Amino acid sequence: MITRLPPGAFFGQSRGRFEVAGLTFAESAYTAGFDIPAHAHAHAFFYLVIEGTCEETARHGTSTCGPSTLVFHPSGEPHANRWPGAGGRAFHIEISQTRADNIREHSVVLDDRNEFRGSMAPWLAMRLYREYCRPDGASLLALEGMALEVLAEASRRKVPAPERTAPRWLNQARELLHDRFAEDLPLGIIAATVGVHPVHLARTFGREFGCSPGEYLRRLRIEITCQRLAMTDAPLAEIALAAGFSDQSHFTKTFRHFNGMTPGEYRRRLRSR
């Protein structure tokens, strides 16, 4: 049985909401181990993982979304979610059907589920979230403009989701990377932990996720550092070491590769008005 949610409705504890010009902005908090049954939303929406890890199951299979991951769902698409560990928070950007139809007259609009990691779309969504958290007299106008930027960038950069369900051991390998992201895990250790040959792990991982386990780990570290740059004032060196980078120089080089800017510039731009 799939629950059909009305416009503007989200599971979890509401942390507030704004509505403007056919767009709804809302934040939800989730307790440890919070399970969301199979459901579908009346309108298309994005959600940005602000804190914690969300496991989502949809027609493509199951994926794990860490901090700063941006996920898009078209209207009516069934999916289920789980927030393991300590729970977490998500920021939602819902687009009414009327607004989506209006946008579609002038531009391409996403029609399939997509995930965005370590790219401009999550960066724009995080900046939108900061505007949401610090409202003033111009916030509704700013929120509308930023939401359209997110939609435009995501439509331009959409990445096809895998169509088949990944084997259980592969999901376990990915979970291991999430649990121990600050460690330099050799491929052999990961393979031994999930009970497969390293060559088979590397080949299957690349086919399912479009990158090697090492590249996935680097992307994961960047996602986590993006969240910490946005939500804390911790020194760059501290953020780098906590995420598993050997030093601040290594962190800066990798961060620039993924985001086209240094961590310091990312933080300054995110917080500028």
Q: What are phi and psi of 121, to 5 degrees?
A: -60, -50
Place of tokens 């740059």: 229
DSSP-derived pairing of the beta strands 3-5 and 34-41 = parallel
What averages of pLDDT result for each successive group of 10 residues across the chain (273 residues)? 91 92 94 94 94 88 86 94 91 93 74 81 86 83 89 70 69 88 90 92 84 85 84 90 92 85 83 58
User: How confident is the model at residue 103, as a pLDDT?
Assistant: 80
User: What are the start-end ranges of the E strands in the chain?
Assistant: 3-5, 13-20, 23-30, 34-41, 44-51, 54-58, 61-65, 70-73, 79-83, 88-95, 114-116
Radius of gyration for the chain, computed over Cα atoms and rounded to the nearest angstrom: 18
pTM of the predicted model, to two decimals?
0.67
- As given in the structure block, the two tokens for residue 207 are 């086919």
Instruction: Judge whether 24 and 37 are in contact, CB under 8 Å.
Output: no
User: How confident is the model at residue 24, as a pLDDT?
Assistant: 95
Q: Taking the C-alpha atoms of 79, 55, 97 and 5 in order, what is their torsion angle to the nearest 10 degrees?
A: 60
d(CA 248, CA 191): 30
Instruction: Judge whether 24 and 61 are in contact, CB under 8 Å.
Output: no
H/E stretch holding 176 reads helix 168-179
User: How confident is the model at residue 160, as a pLDDT?
Assistant: 47
Q: Helix H segments across 182-259?
A: 187-194, 198-209, 213-231, 236-242, 248-259
Place of tokens 């199979």: 38
Rounded (10°) angle between helices 263-271 and 120-133: 40
* Cβ atoms < 10 Å from Cβ of 236: 18
Burial of 262: CB neighbours in 10 Å, binned 0-12, 13-18, 19+: middle
d(CA 126, CA 109): 20
CA atoms within 13 A on the CB side of 161: 24
d(CA 253, CA 177): 21
- As given in the structure block, the two tokens for residue 190 are 């990961």
User: How confident is the model at residue 158, as a pLDDT?
Assistant: 54
DSSP-derived pairing of the beta strands 54-58 and 23-30 = unpaired
User: How confident is the model at residue 111, as a pLDDT?
Assistant: 81
Q: How many residues does the chain have?
A: 273
Partners of 36 in the β-ladder? 81
